[in-house]
Amino acid sequence: MSHLRIGELADRTGTSAPTIRYYEEIGLLRAAPRQAGNQRVYGRADVDRLTFIRRCREFDFSIEQVRTLVGLLDNRSSSCLDARELAAAHLEAVRAKMRELRALERSLVGFVADCDAQCAGGPGPDCVILGDLGKRCGCGPVVP
């Protein structure tokens, strides 16, 4: 089970080999020991740590945030409330992003609807929808 090489570690954690080397380079993973021919060797603990890191990344934590979280892991004596804080702050950011996306979605839906309503006639230089993407089909060219 242990003594994996980089490709196997990548497979088990849903990462790529270059990404693992990159994480090592930036100090998110320790510098792996090498076997005879200079190839990196990993063990169970590396799978767990990298899995943890990837999950954090899937949660959209930035590398720096992951570094903090991993630091909490490495230093259990620090407050676990720090992790809660980080997660709560992150949750706020996620919600803000979702609000933005909802607004964007509404605009795009309106845009497409206007296209269907007004440009059903087909293509051509008379098309109104390009007139103002921002105002959403206010009809007319961008340069009034």
Confirm if 32 and 52 have CB atoms less than 8 A apart. Answer: no
Q: Does 111 bind DNA (CB under 7 A)?
A: no
Q: What is the DSSP letter of 31?
A: -
41-100: contacts with its own copies (CB under 8 A): 44-45, 48-49, 51-52, 55-56, 58-60, 69, 72-73, 76-81, 83-84, 87-88, 90-91, 94-95, 97-98
Site string for its own copies, 101-130 (x = CB under 8 A): xx-xx-xxx-xx--xx--x--xxxx-xxxx
Least distance between DNA and beta carbon 63 (Å): 3
The three-point CA angle 36-42-44 to 5° equals 145
Q: Does 7 bind DNA (CB under 7 A)?
A: yes
Residue 3, both tokens: 């003594």
SS (H, E, C) 48-100: HHHHHHHHHHHCCCCHHHHHHHHHHHHCCCCCCHHHHHHHHHHHHHHHHHHHH
Confirm if 49 and 70 have CB atoms less than 8 A apart. Answer: yes
List residues near its own copies by CB under 8 A: 44-45, 48-49, 51-52, 55-56, 58-60, 69, 72-73, 76-81, 83-84, 87-88, 90-91, 94-95, 97-98, 101-102, 104-105, 107-109, 111-112, 115-116, 119, 122-125, 127-130, 132-134, 141-144
